[in-house]
Amino acid sequence: MARRVLPGFGLSLGFVLTWLGLIVLLPLAALALKASGIGFGGLWTMVTTPAVLAALKLSFGAAVLSAVINAIAGLLVAWVLVRYSFPGRRFFDALVDLPFALPTAVAGIALTALYAPKGWIGALLAPLGIKVAFTPLGVLIAMVFVGFPFVVRTLQPVLESLDRDIEEAATSLGASRWQTFTRVLFPLLLPALLTGFALALARAVGEYGSVIFIAGNIPMKSEILPLVIVKQLEQFKYADAAAVGIVMLALSFLLLLAISLLQRWSRRWAER
């Protein structure tokens, strides 16, 4: 006799399931089926070609590095935005979301213009012998850009919710500022920091628009994984594209799993 009190269960869930089925699950199933049609052996040969391996290495390596940079910079920025007051704080806080709001293609050409040898920043770096645009370093810069907001936005609410009491308690027990930060605050921030890191990593691995302009896309050198898929599609090599696609999908599932585990972990201290 368990009945539902509020109306609309069938209607809302029915619509949601239909929509998800058509828009998300059916196309994903098409990819999975295409990949399984190739078979594991075929899949293996397709994704272990030197070009794909090089792209995988670049995509993943640059993404990890960019997430590390973002974790450090994000912690600094979140700390400054939450803890200190200074003129323009609200403006800079809003600015953090720019990479979410700015279309990736726009970010891509803007970064390229900045870091090209004649660009504002590129011109400064050129005399030092540092080339950014059209090298793996450019890929890294673009990934730092797109992944930046994640760490800040996951850390901010945690930082805001931290009681000043615990810092005062630590101080009254004789801890220095640095000890208070490393021994009391940092352990509390770590789950959110890691969650932000994982989110930034997931975004960077799959990023396309902002990277391809600055990367220069030199095969085996500055070609990212998503671009490999695009090139294969342009050559009508659908099976190869599906093979690389399924690898990327598996990678994002793994990251998604890691993120949800991290979030569960970070809720450990939520009940106070």
Partner 1 sequence: MTLAINRLSRRFADFRALDDVSLSIAPGEFIALLGPSGSGKTTLLRILAGLDFPDAGALDQDGRDLLRVSARDRGVGLVFQHYALFRHMTVFENVAFGLRVRKRARRPSKAEIADRVDKLLKRVQLDGMAQRYPSQLSGGQRQRVALARALAIEPELLLLDEPFGALDAQVRVALRRWLRHLHEEMGLTTVFVTHDQEEALELADRVVVMNRGRIEQVGTPDEIYQQPATPFVFEFIGKSNKVPVRIHGGRLQAGDQRFEADALEGLADGSAVAYVRPEHLALSTTPLENGWKATLRHVYLSGSVAHLELEVPGLGQTLEAELGGEEAQRRSLQSGMHVTVQPRHLTVFPLDGKSGEPDLARRRVVHPRYGQAALARWR
Partner 2 sequence: MEAALPLQRSRFTARRLVHALLILAALAFLAVFLLLPLAAVFVEALRKGLGTYVAAVVHPEAIAAIKLTLLVAAIAVPLNTVFGVAAAWAMTRFDFRGKAVLGAIIDLPFSVSPVVSGLIYVLLFGAQGWFGPWLQEHDIKLIFAVPGLVLATIFVTLPFVARELIPLMQSQGSDEEEAARVLGASGWQIFFRVTLPNIRWALLYGVLLCNARAMGEFGAVSVVSGHIRGLTNTLPLHVEILYNDYNYAGAFAVASLLAFLALVTLGLKTFLEWRYGTELAARAGRGH
4 to 43, contacts with partner 1 by CB under 8 A?
A: 5
Interface size with partner 1, residues (CB under 8 A): 4
Q: Closest distance between partner 2 and the C-beta of residue 45, in Å?
A: 19
Q: What are the structure tokens assigned to 16, written together?
A: 């949601």
Report if residue 76 touches partner 2, rule: CB under 8 A.
yes
CB atoms within 10 A of CB 143: 28
| Cα separation, 68 vs 198, whole angstroms | 10
Q: Closest distance between partner 1 and the C-beta of residue 16, in Å?
A: 24
Interface size with partner 2, residues (CB under 8 A): 95
CA-derived radius of gyration, the chain: 23
Q: Closest distance between partner 1 and the C-beta of residue 11, in Å?
A: 16
In what helix (H) or strand (E) does residue 162 lie, and over which residues does it extend?
A: none
Q: What are the structure tokens assigned to 197, written together?
A: 């890191």
| Cα separation, 190 vs 268, whole angstroms | 12
Residue (1 or 11) nearer to partner 1, CB: 1
Scanning residues 9 to 48, which ones bind partner 2 (CB under 8 A)? 9, 11-13, 15-17, 19-20, 23-28, 30-31, 33-34
Q: What are the structure tokens assigned to 252, written together?
A: 């994002």
| Cα separation, 77 vs 60, whole angstroms | 25
Q: Closest distance between partner 1 and the C-beta of residue 6, in Å?
A: 9
Scanning residues 140 to 199, which ones bind partner 2 (CB under 8 A)? 144-145, 148-150, 153-154, 157, 177, 192, 195-196, 199
| Cα separation, 186 vs 168, whole angstroms | 15
Instruction: Out of 44, 45, 57, 95, point to the residue binding partner 2 (CB under 8 A).
Output: 95
The alpha carbon of 267 is separated from its chain's Cα centroid by a whole number of angstroms, namely 21
Residue (2 or 128) nearer to partner 1, CB: 2
Q: Which does 128 bind (CB under 5 to 8 A by kind): partner 1, partner 2, none?
A: none
Report the phi/psi class of residue 175: left, alpha or beta, with left for phi > 0 and alpha for psi in -120 to 50: beta
Q: Closest distance between partner 2 and the C-beta of residue 26, in Å?
A: 7
Q: Are 25 and 249 in contact (CB under 8 A)?
A: no
Report if residue 272 touches partner 2, rule: CB under 8 A.
no
Which residues are at the interface with partner 1 (CB under 8 A)? 1-3, 5
